[in-house]
Amino acid sequence: MAKGLIRMKETTKAIRIQTERTQHKEHATPLFLTSSFTFEDAAEGQALFNNEIPGNIYSRYSNPSVQEFIDKVCMMEELEVGFATSSGMAAVFAGFAAHLQSGDHLVASQALFGSAHQIITQILPKWGISYTYLDSDCSEEEWNAAIQENTKMIYLETPSNPGLALVDLEMIGKVAKKHNLIYYVDNCFATPVIQKPARFGTDLIVHSATKFMDGQGRVLGGIICGTQETMEPVIFFCRHTGPAMSPFNAWILSKSLETLHLRMERHCENAQKFAEALQGTEGVKQVNYPFLDSHPQNELAKKQMTNGGALVTFDLEGGFERIVRFTKLLTIPSKTSNLGDSRTTITNPNTTTHSKVAQDIKDKLGITEGLMRVSIGLEDIDDLIADFKQAIDGSK
Ligand SMILES: *Cc1c(COP(=O)(O)O)cnc(C)c1O
């Protein structure tokens, strides 16, 4: 980081952290679309490979465009070291694979992204790694009681997808510390702009950069950040198994981080107004948003998040046929399973993202037939509210 930047604010750093300017004096950050880097001579090659001097060797290991993206996210997450991956799931998996081994046990909150659930229940058990799931709102005693002799890690997501359930980050920090466990958090829904898990003692934080970090639905990407110590095995794992992020995607994502704070502010302001406007609408059973007074964990949300986020869910009465009529009538939102876009998106999790989840788990996670998940975008909020109201009325 440039010397003068160190004492500046996070928003300034997110805009001004940049790869060192080349001899061409370009203004926009350069894109290093190259698979490898050259050595002056054999001696320099040897020194680079022996870690005697810093420098780039090969883009599976490191790349300046990718490093710029990593530097910005580590700065925002208040963590030391990161590794950027081709997708969010590659980063989630790297955290598990680098730290868990046969015979280890993992404790996780049950309200997780679908593919994280598949890794924990289908892939890790093949290598002799067992797990215990807990509900997001379990007490400190219940979390403590789930820890076994061979427990190595706690993994959670808050707020969760799609139920927007929260886990108390401070409380889990105490549990992890008490039992000397690796504390691993998926901070994708909140983004580092509205939630900083490292302040509660997390060892590893993971993101799907595909969502709000890109913010415009263009590229896939992921990142895992941690302390020097917790990231060392993760970097070793990633360098040799090859989930590296493309420099092109890193260049897009790093540019996007310049506007992340501004975008999140508007996403949250719009989502709050949307949630308030939908409450009490005929045909809408329940509106779920962390910063609504009616959210069962509203107090916790206000403690660990500075804003409510962009995701709002609500329960539409009238069964699947009404949902079909309702989504046909909506004119603004895109009907797609992605989220975190400047354009509002909407899905029915029961029949799409979570259709393969067992019924008893759906019940626990609040995934009802009528649940609609909305990722509120940056459109004019009055236009959005009016569009939803006409579609709700018209689909009766
Ligand atoms: C989308 C998502 C992921 C997976 O990220 P990809 O980039 O799609 O691999 C992980 N966690 C959460 C909370 C997500 O929303």
Q: In this structure, what CATH number is given to the domain that contains residue 65?
A: 3.40.640.10
Same domain, 196 and 290: no
Q: For residue range 264-313, what is the model confidence (pLDDT) as tens digits?
A: 999 999 999 999 999 999 999 999 999 999 999 999 999 999 999 999 99
319-329 helix and 381-394 helix, angle to the nearest 10 degrees: 140
What pLDDT score was predicted for residue 145? 98
Q: Whose CA is nearest to atom 2 of ligand 1?
A: 208
What pLDDT score was predicted for residue 74? 98
**Of 238, 257, 276, which residue sits at a domain end?**
257
Q: Which residues have CB under 6 Å of ligand 1?
A: 87-89, 113, 115, 157, 161, 186, 188-189, 208, 210-211, 220, 222
Q: Ligand 1: distance of its center to the CA of 215 in Å? A: 13
Q: Whose CA is nearest to atom 4 of ligand 1?
A: 88
Q: For residue range 57-102, what is the model confidence (pLDDT) as tens digits?
A: 999 999 999 999 999 999 999 999 999 999 999 999 999 999 999 9
Q: Whose CA is nearest to atom 7 of ligand 1?
A: 88
Q: For residue range 188-201, what is the model confidence (pLDDT) as tens digits?
A: 999 999 999 999 99
Same domain, 215 and 277: no
What pLDDT score was predicted for residue 67? 98
Q: For residue range 150-179, what is the model confidence (pLDDT) as tens digits?
A: 999 999 999 998 889 999 999 999 999 999
Residue 73 lies in a domain: yes
pTM, rounded to two decimals: 0.96
What pLDDT score was predicted for residue 3? 73
Same domain, 111 and 150: yes
pLDDT above 80 for 2: no
**CA 355 – CA 359 distance, rounded (Å):** 9
64-77 helix and 247-257 helix, angle to the nearest 10 degrees: 40
Cβ contact 367:163 at 8 Å: yes
- Token pair, residue 273, equals 């107004």
- Percent of all residues in the chain with a pLDDT value above 70, rounded to a whole number: 100
Mean pLDDT score of the chain, rounded to an integer?
Answer: 96
**CA 352 – CA 68 distance, rounded (Å):** 35
Same domain, 151 and 68: yes
Residue 182 lies in a domain: yes
- Token pair, residue 376, equals 């509120």
Residue 1 lies in a domain: no
Task: Tell me which residue range forms the domain holding 162.
Answer: 8-257
Same domain, 151 and 300: no
* CATH value at residue 332: 3.90.1150.10
